[in-house]
């Protein structure tokens, strides 16, 4: 489903993908390879997220990267030589795969020179927006939200309620302390809640709800002004959630769409392994073999 682009509605043109972090949980690999380029089967996580943004109607991907991670934006450039070589060798299917990422949407990048947190990374995108862009989507490239489609739903909710819209998962209470948790009240729609606050990693009996934050945001342009006004929070970093909390305290409407689906966290080896196996098992070429091998392996 595609979202109409016009200011003052739920629409957005630009999808910001913060990819300037250090990726410490994937060291030593991330010394040389950005974690956003690690493959899920054969495709980097950031391409899966770019495809999701394009499907939701985004026209431009704005990658926030760092000088040491230029390969992330480079991945989206066309490579005519490689395509020609593959085609001349009769490998048309591979040529199609190579063409896929550059063909998804227009791609630009901005630098975050120091990894001062997610809020700071998103702030770098502000000056790169056109004057008439009233909202911007933010997608964390290490968070796969499945099936895709939640951004389009979030755009509808912004159209209805205004303000900013985030994405939540309903998590079993005993697991809630791993997440940022929303304090919410009901709306007429079971899958849409109004947000009154957020608590980071609460104990299960202190969690204000079981709705945990996921890496999809549809933010009103007011977020950039709020990002300018917050001070470093947890870990000495500028936190995006602190800027959202500031907006809430000033009466800015914030809602969440509760996504009833799956999720993979590609940002750490354990979550990445699950995502890789999950995608492999569904793969028409590799799935069957892997399933047979895994069944044998698990008998040991």
8 A C-beta contact, residue 204 and residue 183:
no
> Which of 104, 154, 267, 279 is in the footprint of ligand UTP by CB under 6 A?
267
Shorter beta-carbon distance to ligand UTP: residue 8 or 68: 68
CB 197, min distance to ligand UTP, A: 22
CB 192, min distance to ligand UTP, A: 25
Determine, following the binding rule CB under 6 A, whether residue 144 of this chain makes contact with ligand UTP: no
Shorter beta-carbon distance to ligand UTP: residue 192 or 227: 227
> Which of 20, 48, 150, 219 is in the footprint of ligand UTP by CB under 6 A?
20
Q: How many residues belong to the chain?
A: 300
Shorter beta-carbon distance to ligand UTP: residue 98 or 104: 104
**Looking only at residues 108 through 127 of this chain, which bind ligand UTP when binding is defined by CB under 6 A?**
112, 115-118, 120-121
**Looking only at residues 223 through 242 of this chain, which bind ligand UTP when binding is defined by CB under 6 A?**
none
Contacting residues for 280 by C-beta, under 8 A, at least 6 apart = 41, 286, 287, 290
- d(CA 68, CA 38) in angstroms, rounded, equals 16
Site string for ligand UTP, 64-103 (x = CB under 6 A): x---------------------------------------
Omega cis (within 30) before 28? yes
CB 48, min distance to ligand UTP, A: 13
The two tokens of residue 44 are 């980097």
End-to-end CA distance of the chain: 46
The two tokens of residue 219 are 């933010």
> Phi/psi zone of residue 276: left (φ > 0), alpha (ψ -120 to 50 degrees), beta?
alpha
Query: Which helix or strand (DSSP H or E) is residue 257 part of?
Result: strand 254-258
Shorter beta-carbon distance to ligand UTP: residue 113 or 293: 113
> Which of 10, 23, 44, 57 is in the footprint of ligand UTP by CB under 6 A?
23
Compute the C-alpha angle 108/114/116, nearest 5°.
105
Binding site for ligand UTP (CB under 6 A): 18-25, 64, 112, 115-118, 120-121, 140-142, 267
């Amino acid at each position: 489903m595609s979202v109409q682009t016009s200011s003052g509605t739920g629409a957005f043109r630009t999808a910001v993908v913060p990819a300037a972090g250090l990726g410490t949980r994937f060291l030593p690999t991330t010394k040389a390879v950005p974690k956003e380029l690690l493959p899920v089967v054969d495709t980097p996580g950031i391409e899966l997220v770019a495809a999701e943004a394009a499907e939701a109607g985004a026209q431009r991907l704005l990658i926030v990267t760092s000088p040491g991670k230029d390969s992330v934006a480079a991945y989206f450039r066309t490579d005519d030589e490689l395509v020609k070589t593959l085609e001349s060798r009769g490998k048309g299917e591979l040529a199609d795969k190579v063409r896929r990422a550059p063909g998804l949407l227009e791609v630009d990048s901005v630098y975050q020179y120091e990894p001062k947190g997610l809020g700071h990374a998103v702030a770098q995108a502000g000056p790169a927006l056109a004057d008439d862009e009233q909202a911007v989507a933010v997608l964390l490239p290490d968070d796969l939200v499945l099936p895709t489609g939640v951004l389009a739903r979030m755009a509808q909710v912004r159209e209805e309620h205004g303000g900013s819209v985030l994405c939540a998962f309903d998590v079993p209470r005993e697991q809630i302390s791993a997440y940022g948790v929303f304090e919410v009240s009901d709306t007429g729609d079971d899958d849409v809640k109004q947000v009154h606050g957020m608590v980071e990693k609460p104990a299960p009996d202190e969690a204000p709800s079981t709705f945990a934050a996921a890496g999809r945001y549809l933010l009103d342009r007011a977020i950039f002004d709020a990002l300018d006004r917050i001070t470093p929070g947890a870990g000495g970093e500028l936190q995006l959630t602190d800027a959202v909390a500031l907006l809430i305290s000033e009466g800015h409407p914030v809602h969440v769409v509760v996504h009833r689906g799956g999720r993979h966290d590609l940002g750490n080896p354990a979550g990445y392994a699950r995502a890789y196996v999950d995608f492999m098992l569904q793969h028409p070429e590799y799935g069957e073999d892997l399933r047979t091998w895994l069944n044998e392996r698990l008998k040991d």
